[in-house]
Amino acid sequence: MRTPRVTHSSGFTLVELLVSMGLTAVVMTLVLSGVLAFRTGYYQDIVRTRINGNLRSAMDIISMNVRQAGENLQSNFPAIILTNGSASAADTLKLRRNLVPEILTLCTTIAAGASTLAVSSASTANAECVPANVAPLYTVFEGLRNSNGGSMRVFIYDRSTRTGEFVDYSLGTFAGGQYSITISAAQHAYTQLNTGVYIVEEYAFEVDAAQKTLNLYIDDQRDTPQAVAFGVTNFQVSLEMSDHTTLSAFTQSSGTQDWKDIEQIDLTLNGEDSYRGETITSSISAQYFPRNVLSFDG
């Protein structure tokens, strides 16, 4: 009787198979987690890049106006105004430039509520009020008003009281050898010879916290904001002065410093966006030199 031959074949035992499957699962989990983390990081970087691009575009617009601020303006005119936001809220930066070098002088004191400005006076012994000297300045103002549809914004500023405001200039009059302009009612009183009428352009940059937008207000027209950038959460500004101090607010309404004492404007914009319910934040900072501080203050 033949004895059956027993053969042995190689293979995995049940324990080895379970261990192998466990290791494979661990490796696959790690690989999948790594891929998902890389994918999430990749898309977060895309969102962050989008935020930075948005903030950079806004910063470019602000920087252009910083460089133009103070054009055709003397040091005693408030060309740069910085309002500090309370409790770390966003700041407001106002940048002004005179569109033309011509400036009309107020030749008769007015009270609040007045709507006519006498810009010449035969009885005032001042060269700035002599009708013959006023004529070319008046012509420039009237030409710009007419080319602007018959009405335009002008800025009245009293150097003695450091009071100013925007008004609507709607008519120019030459009667009895004297020049005057008609405006919307002035909110303040202004003194003769100390007050000038300027064709000023003002750009005010301010964050709307509710809408998270950086808005631009032109010539103090608060009812028509223009969105410069979206997803903006904060806007911080500081001024480096020639006496090595740093200011978080600047109005030029008191003290001895004026805008030509500014050496550098430091700006920081913060923004945010979201990816799959997660808030992504970023910020950019820059420093700019208001070059018109070097202009002749004649």
Burial class of residue 185 in the structure, from the number of CB atoms within 10 Å of its CB (0-12 exposed, 13-18 middle, 19+ buried): exposed
Tokens of 3: 């004895």
Say which residue the tokens 């970087």 belong to: 45
Question: Does 1 score more than 60 pLDDT?
Answer: no
Contact assessment for residue 289 and residue 263, using Cβ atoms and an 8 Å cutoff: yes
What's residue 285's pLDDT?
A: 97
Say which residue the tokens 């324990």 belong to: 15
Identity (one letter) of the amino acid at 106?
L
What's residue 36's pLDDT?
A: 62
Hey, where are the domains in the chain?
Answer: 73-95+202-294, 100-198
Contact assessment for residue 197 and residue 209, using Cβ atoms and an 8 Å cutoff: no
Question: What distance in Å separates the CA atoms of residue 124 and residue 130, rounded to the nearest whole number?
Answer: 8
What's residue 24's pLDDT?
A: 75
Q: How confident is the model at residue 195 (pLDDT cuts 50, 70, 90)?
A: very high
Question: What distance in Å separates the CA atoms of residue 74 and residue 41, rounded to the nearest whole number?
Answer: 52
Q: How confident is the model at residue 69 (pLDDT cuts 50, 70, 90)?
A: very high
Contact assessment for residue 254 and residue 235, using Cβ atoms and an 8 Å cutoff: no
Question: Does 246 score more than 90 pLDDT?
Answer: yes
Question: What distance in Å separates the CA atoms of residue 92 and residue 84, rounded to the nearest whole number?
Answer: 7
Taking only the tens place, the pLDDT of each residue in 75-97 is 999 999 999 998 889 999 999 99
What's residue 90's pLDDT?
A: 97
Taking only the tens place, the pLDDT of each residue in 110-123 is 999 999 999 999 88
Question: What distance in Å separates the CA atoms of residue 74 and residue 79, rounded to the nearest whole number?
Answer: 9
Give the pLDDT mean for 165-186: 97
Taking only the tens place, the pLDDT of each residue in 199-227 is 999 999 999 999 999 999 999 999 999 99
DSSP code for 51: H
- The phi and psi torsions of 210 (rounded to 5 degrees) equal -70, -45
Angle at 226 (CA atoms; ends 223, 228), nearest 5 degrees: 150
Q: How confident is the model at residue 254 (pLDDT cuts 50, 70, 90)?
A: confident
How long a stretch of residues is the chain?
298
Specify the range with the lowest mean pLDDT, choosing from 4-13, 14-23, 43-52, 135-144. Answer: 4-13
Question: What distance in Å separates the CA atoms of residue 295 and residue 117, rounded to the nearest whole number?
Answer: 29
- In percent, the amount of the chain with pLDDT more than 70 equals 89
Question: Does 22 score more than 90 pLDDT?
Answer: no
124 vs 55: which has the higher pLDDT: 55
R_g of the chain computed on alpha carbons = 33
Mean pLDDT of the chain: 91
Question: Does 196 score more than 80 pLDDT?
Answer: yes
pTM to 2 decimals?
0.85
Taking only the tens place, the pLDDT of each residue in 27-46 is 777 766 666 665 666 666 78
Give the pLDDT mean for 231-255: 93
Specify the range with the lowest mean pLDDT, choosing from 2-11, 43-52, 122-131, 160-169. Answer: 2-11
**SS3 state at 172:** strand
Tokens of 254: 């008191």
Strand partners, 269: 235, 284
Say which residue the tokens 């490796």 belong to: 27
What's residue 32's pLDDT?
A: 67
